[in-house]
Chain A
Amino acid sequence: MLENLLQLPRYRGLIQSLVSRELKARYRGSVLGFFWSFANPLLLLLVYTFVFSYVMRPPEGIHDYALFLFCGLLPWTWFQTSLVESSGVLISGGNLIKKVMFPAEILPIVTVLSNLVHFLFGLIILIVFLVYYQAPLQPVELLWFPIVVIVQLVLTLGFALILSALTVHFRDIKDILGNVMTLWFFATPIIYSWKNPPAQIRRFLDLNPFTHLAVSYQEILYFDGPFGHWKWLLALGGGSVALFLFGYFLFDRLRDSFAEEV
């Protein structure tokens, strides 16, 4: 397993070109093309903002709801899309696995990375929002931002490896996953604040790894005051590395079956 893991950097050229192919191919043929990378999160944001500003009351203590929402929604979209796409990626890329000697883990990795690129594009809109709402940003806090992104990357990779490998054997994971992700979304403080629910519910929220990512993003970008969630974040970082290693181990164990099962 470690041997294979250490081989991975050798494939960075391949990963790089596959990610750029993914990005080029995604919007090929659509009128707006790359603009969709901006338009998609923006439209999603419009929907939620409309619902929570006009249909329902925004949660307590949250002003500038659109900005608050965006801080959690953008990373969530990256996370969710990565998992859903990587669950099917080995099956749709079956041709590569069956016909070419190809390190299969590259496929889920490419999925996560190309969604990372979309996330980074979305950040541009987030910056526009931050400037527009004159959010109280502190440079020291902003230094934490890349760390949060890296923790999320490792966590997402871990999940992506596990899901992609298991889906080869159990095709219905793909269908289950759509519903699980909806539940997961509402169990994460994205449309509401972590501080809103009562304490005993919050304890359950703490078990959700994405809670700590969302809260970290919100504290860094939205809330005033020092970044107080860093202990949670570092713990999650450690857990993510463990999950990634476990995911890679599982993937590696099942690797030989892929060529026959997809």
Chain B
Amino acid sequence: MSNAIELTNVTKVYRKYARRKQFATLKSALLSGSLIHDLQPEETFPALQGVSFNVPAGRTYGIIGRNGSGKSTALKLVAGITKPTTGTVKVDGRISALIELGAGFHPEISGRENVFINGIMLGLTKRDVARRFDEIVEFAEMQDFIDAPVKTYSSGMYMRLGFAVAIHVDPDVLLVDEVLAVGDEGFTHKCLDKFGEFKRRGKTILLVTHALSLVERFCDEALWLDSGKVRGSGDPKRVVGAYLTDVGKSEERELAREDAKSEQRAESHEPTDRDADVQVRSVAEDMTRVDEGRWGSREIEITDVTFRNPQGEASHIFQSGDPMAIHIAVRAHQETEDFVFGIGIYSAEGVNCYGTNTHLEEFTPLQMRGDGEVTIAIGSLELVEGTYKLDVAVHKRDGYPYDYHRLLYTFRVKSRTKEVGIYRPRHTWAFSPNIQVRRDGL
């Protein structure tokens, strides 16, 4: 089978202007005598680096990746809108690019005239457009408005008409960039049906999207781009899986960084004199205020808080139902007999999901000195998916705070199922034999 699209070792470098250069004008270029120099980029930014991939004719190929990974650049190169800096791009057959729908619509003239001009722009003849006109209008569901000027259209109408024209060009290669969010559910289904029809007729489709389920369901092959480089390609399910794992890891790093940052912020707001100490104590009593921060006298200090997964590794991401252990490292600067350790779990909206301390659970403090560690092991994290914040505190039985860490720690709970609420009780479903169900996605 021949390749419809071939990218060989493609690199695309964009210029990155310093702010000063952004408004480079003839005058400034002439005055500083740097006419030629200013045209040379000061800094460059590689959007794609040595990317190669082939799409055999008749296949549906998905490109996934984070924002800024070079997906759209790759698509623009295939569409021929920009040229690669090095490497070659070969495309066989007529291309229609669903990149910007309705680009080139003129707002002042009617939808009808715009359909003709847009069609001609995409490579049809006037007669071709005339022949397909009714079909286009019907597909866009625009029968009633086709003679109104385009400027009166809603954005949905505008996109639908653009989509309808582009898809009726009858291309050999269809390039799709994140355009399925065009209409309501019904229209989206119609678009998917149309793609299906394209597939059956042996057309090549190159799809750039964040809708991973679409890639899994629809594509024969997938490519994962990351910072302009190919990270993986092949079977869509495996590529999507690898991509999701990587996204999870970087979320983890993100959370760790956020934690470090908020701890640092709390450190820098640390009260220094006694007056401030009294003042902060009143803040401590105001428990309804959801402000992150740190206060206390520091006779006992919380030096470190980590979440650990069942394997004992520090982590910020947990599956719903997994065990989680919270390790609190503490240091007593003097020997004490009055201390209570406590935690509080808050949802992202600030709802207190759970709170406990050693006093409530009837531990009587006897003695503490030097460095130590407190571990709260949660057997099963029965929370629905979401981001949660943690309070950690050590204080006297009467509430006098030694060290209070308010909402300084973040962890994320992931779940394959998307239930709502906060608490996810362990549960099972049972159905009598006359009710038949199938469990999907397992």
A101-B80 contact given A17-B117, A169-B39, CB 8 Å threshold: yes
Residue with the highest number of chain A CB atoms closer than 10 Å, among B97, B104, B113: B104
By a CB distance below 8 angstroms, the chain A residues around B24 are: 170
Chain B positions within 8 Å of A100 at CB level = 81, 97, 99-100, 103-104, 121-122
Chain A residues whose C-beta falls within 8 Å of the C-beta of B99 in the assembled complex: 99-100
- A21 in contact with B39 given A100-B97, A100-B103 (CB within 8 Å): no
Q: Are B39 and A256 in contact, CB atoms less than 8 angstroms apart?
A: no
Q: Chain A residues with Cβ under 8 A from B108's Cβ? A: 24-25, 28-29
Most chain A CB neighbours (cut-off 10 Å) among B95, B99, B103: B103
- The reply to whether A28 and B109 contact each other, CB–CB distance below 8 Å, is yes
B103 touches A21 (CB 8 A): no
Q: How far is the CA of A259 from the CA of B79 in the complex (A)?
A: 12
Give A169 to B15 CA distance when docked, in angstroms.
13
| Per-position binary interface string of chain B over residues 193-236, scored 1 when its CB falls under 8 Å from any chain A CB and 0 otherwise | 00000000000000000000000000000000000000000000
> Are B26 and A173 closer than 8 Å at their CB atoms?
yes
A24 CA / B112 CA spacing, docked (Å): 13
Contact among A28, A101, A171 with B97 in the assembled complex (CB-CB below 8 Å): A101
Provided the pairs A24-B113, A25-B106, A100-B97 are in contact, do residues A17 and B81 lie with their beta carbons within 8 angstroms? no
Contact A172 B109 (CB under 8 A): no
A207 at the B interface (CB under 8 A)? no
* Most central of A25, A97, A173 by chain B CB within 10 Å: A25
Asked if B121 and A102 make an inter-chain contact with CB atoms under 8 angstroms apart, the answer reads yes
Kindly state the separation between the CA atoms of A28 and B83 in the bound complex, as whole angstroms.
37
Q: Residues of A contacting B126 with CB < 8 Å? A: 13, 17
- Measured CA separation A113–B120 after assembly (Å): 18
B117 proximity list for chain A (CB < 8 A): 14, 17-18, 21
C-alpha spacing A29/B121, complex, angstroms: 25
Q: Is the CB of B100 within 8 A of A260?
A: no
B109 touches A21 (CB 8 A): yes
Instruction: Tell me whether A256 and B83 are in contact in the complex, defined as CB-CB below 8 angstroms, given that A95-B104, A96-B103 are known contacts.
Output: yes
B242 contacts partner chain A, Cβ-Cβ < 8 Å = no
Verify if A176 is at the interface (C-beta below 8 Å from B). Answer: yes
Chain B 73-116 interface mask (CB, 8 Å, partner A; 1/0): 00010011111000000000001010110011010110001001
- Check B83 against A25 for contact (C-beta < 8 Å): no
Digit string of A10-46 for contact with B (CB within 8 Å is 1, else 0)?
Answer: 0001100110010011001100000000000000000
A98 at the interface (CB under 8 A from B): yes
Q: Is B125 in contact with A98, judged by CB distance below 8 angstroms?
A: no
Please measure, in the bound complex, the distance between the C-alpha atom of A18 and the C-alpha atom of B121, giving whole angstroms.
Answer: 9
Which one of A21, A96, A101, A169 contacts B113 once the chains associate, using CB atoms below 8 Å? A21
Q: Is B149 an interface residue (CB 8 A)?
A: yes
Chain A residues contacting B26 (CB-CB under 8 Å) are: 170, 172-173, 176
Choose among A18, A99, A173 the residue with the greatest number of B CB atoms under 10 Å from its CB.
A99
CA distance A171 to B81 in the complex (A): 22
**Are B121 and A14 in touch, CB under 8 angstroms?**
yes
Q: How far is the CA of A173 from the CA of B24 in the complex (A)?
A: 12
Closest to A166 in B: B26
A49 to B369, CA, bound (A): 104
Q: Is the CB of B120 within 8 A of A13?
A: yes
Kindly state the separation between the CA atoms of A184 and B24 in the bound complex, as whole angstroms. Answer: 27
* Min CB gap A60→B, angstroms: 41
Known: A13-B126, A100-B104, A170-B29. A260 touches B82 (CB 8 A): yes
Could you tell me the distance between the alpha carbons of A172 and B27 in the complex, rounded to whole angstroms?
A: 8
Least CB distance, B96 to chain A, in whole angstroms: 10
Decide if A101 touches B79 in the complex (CB within 8 Å): yes
Minimum Cβ distance to chain A for residue B105 (Å): 9
Do the beta carbons of A256 and B82 come within 8 Å of each other? yes
Q: Which residues of A contact B109 (CB under 8 A)?
A: 21, 24-25, 28
Q: For residue B149, which residues in chain A have a CB less than 8 angstroms away from its CB?
A: 28
B:252-294 near A, CB below 8 Å: none
The answer for the CA separation of A24 and B109 in the assembled complex, in Å, is: 7
Q: A259 and B106: CB pair below 8 A? A: no
Minimum CB distance partner of A101 in chain B:
B80
Binary per-residue interface labels of chain A (83-98) against chain B in the complex, 1 for a CB within 8 Å, 0 otherwise? 0000000000001111
Q: What is the bound-complex CA distance between A68 and B71, given in angstroms? A: 61
**A101's contact among B14, B27, B95, B116, by CB below 8 Å, is which?**
B95
CB–CB A101/B81 < 8 A: yes
7 residue pairs, one from A and one from B, having the closest CB atoms: A99-B100, A170-B26, A99-B103, A25-B108, A28-B108, A101-B80, A172-B25
14 contacts between A and B (CB under 8 A): A13-B126, A24-B108, A28-B108, A95-B104, A98-B81, A98-B100, A99-B81, A99-B103, A101-B95, A170-B24, A172-B26, A172-B27, A259-B76, A260-B15
Q: A97-B81, A99-B97, A260-B15 given. 18 additional CB < 8 A pairs?
A: A14-B120, A17-B120, A17-B126, A24-B113, A25-B106, A28-B108, A28-B109, A29-B108, A96-B104, A96-B121, A99-B81, A99-B104, A100-B122, A101-B95, A101-B97, A172-B25, A172-B26, A173-B26
Chain A interface (Cβ within 8 Å of chain B)? 13-14, 17-18, 21, 24-25, 28-29, 95-102, 169-173, 176, 256, 259-260
